[in-house]
């Protein structure tokens, strides 16, 4: 049974996990620089394989990605949301797929809703646990004595090929939020069907489970009440789930605008037109894109810090604050995509070739905008809160 075997499996799987860092220690700058260089050098490989390989996930563990949201009482860092989001933004600047996979280091916030005894088992050999989930469409599981009999097929399990544990949605829990069953990789079949135009390296394949028993102790309600009383687990978890994805577009957009800046001082075009940097329309467009991106980024981190400050003061995060966090996430996604589109249009014919970096940035940025947590309908929900009327169910 999963609940009796998981600790032994994790111990065997991760015999070399290092002792926890001090909670106030971020990634060493030299280590971060080396990992980012490796990410850039391997991003074509990620695309070709359609996933970020397990050895690269191990490198992300070295950066503290997968202990960033692990409770301090279990050896993790439980970092502030802003700290983690800025790390994901930086990784995404190197490669959107790597940033997207790394963003699920935040999933430990969800996992904190597991019973404490289960968490103690999960983190028995260290805090660096990579989780991937294919939660939808919900596949109701059969309730049996002591747990659940799980069967079904789930979509969009980003990072599943490098994950230590996997989650699938098995029904509704408190408040209609999805109940999630935690499984080991050997209990799950990965259906490799991630054939997409952008974020190819995320490995967001389907998961199939056939007649696996999962005990009650290894299920949790996503967004449910945590069993850990630390500040991070009072932050609105569903809003955070949107933020860690939205911030990928801030990183991709930064890379795109920097690419145009590098191109701008180069040679003249084949038609004999002036260098890009000498064209007034291009300078104006770059300035506008910078202003819009930096404004959205400022709003994004402003709302994050405001919610976090409330928690540190001992106050609950209000519905209005949560809504602003979600609104800022949607806006960051859209502003990032807009900046990438602007960069692509300004680059001219050079950007139409397969090997040009702006091709990757454009494809990746547009995929981020399609995520359900970041869709256009979220503006309606945020507007409803602004006007004092009920938003769509599950928004707050």
Helices (H), the chain: 2-13, 29-49, 54-62, 81-94, 96-103, 108-111, 116-122, 237-264, 280-312, 319-347, 357-368, 377-386
**Whether the Cβ atoms of residue 97 and residue 46 lie closer than 8 Å to each other:** yes
CATH of 131-221, one of 2.40.110.10, 3.30.2010.10, 2.60.34.10, 3.30.70.141: 2.40.110.10
Q: What pLDDT score does 93 carry?
A: 98
Q: What pLDDT score does 361 carry?
A: 98
139: closest CA among 52, 37, 208, 201? 208
CATH of 2-122, one of 1.10.540.10, 1.10.760.10, 1.10.3090.10, 3.40.1110.10: 1.10.540.10
**Whether the Cβ atoms of residue 97 and residue 52 lie closer than 8 Å to each other:** yes
Start and end residues for every CATH 1.10.540.10 domain found in the chain: 2-122
Query: In angstroms, rounded to a whole number, what is the distance separating the alpha carbons of residues 380 and 386?
Result: 10
Residues of the chain falling short of pLDDT 70: 1-25, 173-175, 267-272
Q: What pLDDT score does 13 carry?
A: 41
Mean pLDDT across the chain, nearest whole number?
Answer: 92
- Give the Cα-Cα-Cα angle 389, 395, 396 (nearest 5 degrees): 80
End-to-end CA distance of the chain: 36
Query: In angstroms, rounded to a whole number, what is the distance separating the alpha carbons of residues 333 and 187?
Result: 35
Start and end residues for every CATH 2.40.110.10 domain found in the chain: 131-221
Token pair listed for 192: 């490799």
CATH of 235-386, one of 3.40.190.10, 2.170.120.20, 1.10.150.120, 1.20.140.10: 1.20.140.10
Q: What pLDDT score does 23 carry?
A: 47
Q: What pLDDT score does 393 carry?
A: 87
- 136 DSSP 8-state letter: B
Q: What pLDDT score does 15 carry?
A: 34
Start and end residues for every CATH 1.20.140.10 domain found in the chain: 235-386
Q: What pLDDT score does 25 carry?
A: 61
Query: In angstroms, rounded to a whole number, what is the distance separating the alpha carbons of residues 101 and 94?
Result: 13
pTM for this structure? Answer: 0.92
Q: What pLDDT score does 271 carry?
A: 65
Q: What pLDDT score does 266 carry?
A: 72
Contact partners, residue 389, CB within 8 Å, separation at least 6: none
Residue 214 has phi, psi (to 5 degrees) of -125, 125
Q: What pLDDT score does 272 carry?
A: 64
């Amino acid at each position: 049974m999963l609940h009796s075997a998981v600790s032994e499996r994790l111990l065997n799987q991760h015999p070399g996990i290092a002792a926890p860092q001090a909670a106030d220690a971020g990634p060493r700058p030299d280590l971060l620089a080396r990992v980012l260089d490796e990410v850039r050098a391997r991003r074509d490989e990620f695309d070709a394989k359609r996933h970020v390989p397990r050895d690269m996930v191990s490198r992300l563990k070295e950066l503290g990605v997968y202990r960033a949201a692990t409770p301090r009482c279990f050896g993790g860092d439980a970092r502030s949301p802003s700290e983690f989001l800025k790390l994901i933004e930086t990784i995404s600047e190197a490669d959107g797929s790597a940033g997207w996979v790394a963003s699920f280091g935040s999933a430990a916030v969800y996992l904190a809703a597991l019973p404490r005894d289960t968490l103690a088992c999960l983190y028995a050999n260290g805090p660096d646990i990579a989780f991937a989930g294919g939660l939808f469409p919900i596949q109701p599981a059969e309730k049996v004595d002591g747990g659940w009999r799980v069967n079904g097929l789930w979509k969009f399990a980003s990072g599943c090929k490098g994950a230590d544990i996997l989650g699938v949605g098995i029904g509704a829990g408190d408040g209609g939020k999805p109940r999630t069953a935690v499984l080991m990789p050997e209990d799950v079949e990965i259906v490799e069907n991630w054939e997409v135009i952008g974020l190819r390296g995320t490995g967001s394949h389907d998961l199939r489970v056939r007649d696996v028993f999962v005990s009650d102790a290894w299920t949790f309600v996503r967004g449910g009440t945590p069993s850990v009383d630390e500040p991070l687990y009072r932050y609105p978890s569903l809003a955070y789930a949107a933020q860690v994805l939205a911030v990928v577009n801030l990183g991709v957009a930064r890379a795109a605008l920097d690419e145009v800046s590098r191109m701008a001082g180069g040679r003249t075009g084949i038609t004999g037109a002036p260098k890009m940097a000498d064209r007034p329309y291009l300078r104006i467009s770059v300035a506008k894109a910078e202003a819009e991106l930096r404004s959205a980024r400022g709003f994004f981190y402003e709302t994050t810090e405001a919610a976090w400050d409330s928690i540190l003061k001992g106050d609950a995060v209000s519905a209005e604050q949560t809504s602003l966090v979600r609104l800022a996430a949607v806006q960051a996604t859209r502003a990032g995509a807009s900046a990438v589109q602007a960069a692509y249009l300004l680059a001219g014919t050079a950007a139409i070739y397969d090997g040009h970096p702006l091709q990757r940035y454009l494809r990746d940025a547009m995929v981020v905008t399609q995520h359900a947590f970041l869709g256009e309908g979220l503006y309606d929900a945020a507007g409803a809160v602004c006007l004092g009327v009920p938003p769509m169910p599950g928004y707050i």
